[in-house]
Amino acid sequence: MAGHRAGQHLDIRLTADDGYRAERSYSIASAPGEPLAITVERLEDGEVSPYLTRELRPGDKMEVRGPIGGYFVWEPAMGGPLLLAAGGSGIVPLRAILRYRANLGSQVPVRLLYSSRSWPDVIYRDELSRPEAGVAVIQTLTRSHPDDWTGYTRRVDAAMLAEVAWPAADGALAYVCGPTSFVESVAAGLVGLGYPAGRVRTERFGATGQ
Amino acid sequence: MGPFEGGALEDGVLDGNAIGGMLMSLFGTDMTAARGVCGHCGTVGQVAELAVYQSDLGTVVRCRTCDGVLMVFVEVRGVTCVDMEGLASLA
């Protein structure tokens, strides 16, 4: 498989013994130059993620297409500062961007705003608690939170974006990934703060926890 | 054109990133960064920002501005049938 870019995804297709096929897209979690890795959030009523997280064994074969995408990608030449906004497993392609930045020794300043339902739903908890220099991680837990939680406790809204996002005058580049409703509200909020639409890149997906 | 010049998308509606793999199979290259021109209203939009409706029957891609149908993909017995009549251009 060819090398990938930070932000890209793979399509995985499973075919059952009776010929029934199911296909899903999974964002690549590793940085360019690292072995290919995806992160799969198990949805208990899902068709594909329970198989990938419970049944799949080393040596099993599956159909994989990719890497895919030339729009929701970040390259160092694109600069920053970067505003990364994730809802639920929308963190995965943004994690690839963060790792890529770290591996390159890039000094591009980053603010990551990450929305999850609850603390156990937060993906990459340990990693995000020790961010690289120049990376600020701001989290919100929308359904429940630990007693000693000091982050936000509501869905991302215009007021939160105004506090967290780089001022529009900084010319930041924004990457927003998550469920459609999350992406719509964040993207509209950033445009409301004065971000040009062309500086906001978005990727929407289906069911997840945000 | 950016993400929000058209109407907001509802949950369950995806964007053109979701069909990047299928488009790559059909065109042999990444199409998510390509620009499409709506044949109904003339809006220019990046494929990654178009509205994508997926069901078991197939995939319908709509303009974010006028909701006009731009592309339809239906897979029949392993062959993908493509209707792009709603697009004035794709480059």
Task: Render pLDDT for A149-166 as a digit per residue (tens, 0 to 9).
Answer: 999 999 999 999 999 999
Residue B61 resides in a domain: yes
Average pLDDT of chain B?
90
For residue B42, give how far its alpha carbon lies from the nearest alpha carbon of chain A (Å).
18
Q: Does domain A76-205 fall into CATH 3.40.50.80?
A: yes
For residue A135, give how far its alpha carbon lies from the nearest alpha carbon of chain B (Å).
26
Residue B39 DSSP class: T
Q: Which residue has the tokens 């178009």?
A: B50
Q: What percent of chain A has pLDDT over 70?
A: 97
- Predicted confidence (pLDDT) at residue B2 exceeds the cutoff of 60: no
Residue ranges of A 16-55 with Cβ closer than 8 A to chain B: 25
Integer Cα distance of A96 and A69 in angstroms = 14
Percent helix, strand, coil in chain B, to 5, is 15, 40, 45
Q: Are B21 and A11 in contact (CB under 8 A)?
A: yes
What local confidence, expressed as pLDDT, does residue A1 receive?
Answer: 60
- Which of B10, B21, B47 is the closest to A11 by Cβ? B21
Chain A residues inside the 8 Å CB shell of B4: 184, 187-188, 191, 197, 200
What is the total count of domains within chain B? 1
ipTM: 0.90
- Which of A65, A187, A201 is the closest to B4 by Cβ? A187
Residue ranges in chain B assigned as alpha helix (H): 20-27
What local confidence, expressed as pLDDT, does residue A38 receive?
Answer: 95
**Which of A153, A76, A72 shows the shortest CA–CA distance to A115?**
A153
Integer Cα distance of A101 and A89 in angstroms = 20
Domains of chain A, residue spans: 9-68, 76-205
What local confidence, expressed as pLDDT, does residue A210 receive?
Answer: 42
- Predicted confidence (pLDDT) at residue A2 exceeds the cutoff of 70: no
- Beta-sheet strands, E only, within A69-167: 82-87, 110-116, 135-141
Six token digits for residue A198 = 């062309």
Chain A residues inside the 8 Å CB shell of B24: 65, 68
For residue A175, give how far its alpha carbon lies from the nearest alpha carbon of chain B (Å).
11
Residue B28 resides in a domain: yes
Q: Is A78 on the interface with B (CB under 8 A)?
A: no
**Which residues, at least 6 apart from A210, have a Cβ–Cβ distance to it below 8 Å?**
A87, A88, A90, A115, A116, A117, A142, A155, A178, A179, A182
Residue ranges of A 158-187 with Cβ closer than 8 A to chain B: 179-181, 183-184, 187
CB contact under 8 A, B12 and A206: yes
pTM, rounded to two decimals: 0.94
Residue B72 resides in a domain: yes
How confident is residue B9, by pLDDT bands cut at 50, 70 and 90?
confident
What local confidence, expressed as pLDDT, does residue B77 receive?
Answer: 87
Residue B29 resides in a domain: yes
Q: What is the pLDDT of residues B50-90, one digit of tens each?
A: 999 998 899 999 999 999 999 999 989 889 999 999 999 99
Residue B3 resides in a domain: no
- Which of B1, B18, B30 is the closest to A70 by Cβ? B30
Residue B2 resides in a domain: no
- Predicted confidence (pLDDT) at residue B4 exceeds the cutoff of 80: no
Sheet holding B44-46, edge to edge: B44-46, B35-38, B87-90
Residue B78 resides in a domain: yes
How confident is residue B5, by pLDDT bands cut at 50, 70 and 90?
low
- What mean pLDDT comes out for the span A170-199? 96
Residue B41 resides in a domain: yes
- Predicted confidence (pLDDT) at residue A192 exceeds the cutoff of 90: yes
Chain B residues inside the 8 Å CB shell of A201: 48
Integer Cα distance of B12 and A205 in angstroms = 8
Residue ranges of B 51-90 with Cβ closer than 8 A to chain A: none
User: Domain range for residue B20?
Assistant: 14-90
Pairing of strands B51-55, B14-15: antiparallel
Q: What percent of chain B has pLDDT over 70?
A: 92
- Predicted confidence (pLDDT) at residue A117 exceeds the cutoff of 60: yes
Angle, CA B87 vertex, CA B81 and CA B88 arms, to 5°:
135
- Predicted confidence (pLDDT) at residue B18 exceeds the cutoff of 50: yes
CB contact under 8 A, A9 and B11: no
